[in-house]
Chains A and B, each alone.
Chain A
Amino acid sequence: MADQIAKISEVEFGVELPAFDPDTSLDNVRRFGKYVGWGGGRFTDHEAARKEGFPGAIIPGVMSQGFLGAMIHRWAPSAQIKVIDTIFRAPVLVDQPHTITGVVTNIEEDLKQVEIDITITNEANETRVQGTATIELPA
């Protein structure tokens, strides 16, 4: 498994991307809330989130999607993400370790495009977010 790739000829079908552990800390989510939005209690305050029926504060969906994009860029800095589709299956909890994994599912050399399946799982290995992305790479 290569840590980084630069062009499409370096990509192999079925290869796993380097796993990425996103920063799910309360401090980081509060910073996200301050500058980007989604600063409400369910995202930035465990107690407020529990009052809404969650086990604790949750990561905004738009932030989870951003984690997926960052993971792709860490593996392929020269990639242009063309499409990324994310399904929120269950909450990603703040202050809980999560891991993002990805695998190459298709390579279209002529189009210089690669498809990737990406998953965010929690410590219990439960899927929280699933995504698919199409990226374009230099020849």
Chain B
Amino acid sequence: MDDDIQVMRDQFLNREFDEVKLEIDGIRFAEYAKACGELDQKFTDPTHEDFQAPPTFVATLVGRRNLPEDFPQLNGVGMDAGKAVEWLAPIRDNMTLTGKSHLHDIYTKTGRSGRMVFLVTRMELYSEDGTHVANADTRTVIRERPSG
């Protein structure tokens, strides 16, 4: 583990830096489902008795910021490297979720063009009664520019 990465991990991992309220709109997730090719009416038809969001829908929910306010500026351009979703309970129309974000992991890979820093931001989603319904991870990669 590089020293600078260990310092960032010690300072920022698992420290909540954002909390947002998210109003869930069934029309929005039904259109998401149809555009993605879902066929099951429980994802596409608001009149279905078990109408709910497809598990991957939570990846479209965003907080106010993706990194802590005091996170250091890294020397490179950030790109979306991936998304991960953990489903824990159904998300339904008109729910109000609370999204709490923290940095879940920081690690590096070194390629021919130099070091790449990966930042995994996790938003934990809770329903109004406090049930943990999903985790949504965003993996950002920063390709560092050569220094000097």
A interface with B by C-beta (< 8 Å): 20, 22-23, 28-29, 31-32, 34-37, 61-63, 65-71, 73-74, 77, 80-88
Contact = CB atoms under 8 A, between A and B. Distances in A.
A28 B35 contact: yes
Interface centre among A31, A62, A67 (most CB of B within 10 A): A62
B56 A68 contact: yes
Nearest to A66: B36
A70 B87 contact: no
Contacts of B37: 20, 22-23, 66-67, 70-71, 74
A36 B80 CA distance: 18
A36 B40 contact: no
Interface in B36-57: 36-40, 43, 54-57
Interface in B9-46: 27-28, 31-33, 35-40, 43
A65 B56 contact: yes
Interface centre among B28, B56, B57 (most CB of A within 10 A): B56
Contacts of B87: 80-83
Interface of B: 27-28, 31-33, 35-40, 43, 54-57, 59-60, 80-87, 137, 139
Contact of A35 (B27, B54, B80): B27
Nearest to A69: B56
A21 to B, nearest CB: 9
Contacts of B33: 66, 70
Given A62-B56, A70-B37, 14 more contacts: A22-B37, A32-B31, A35-B28, A65-B85, A66-B32, A66-B57, A67-B36, A69-B56, A70-B33, A71-B37, A74-B39, A80-B55, A81-B55, A81-B85
Contact of B38 (A31, A63, A73, A84): A73
B14 to A, nearest CB: 20
B36 A70 contact: yes
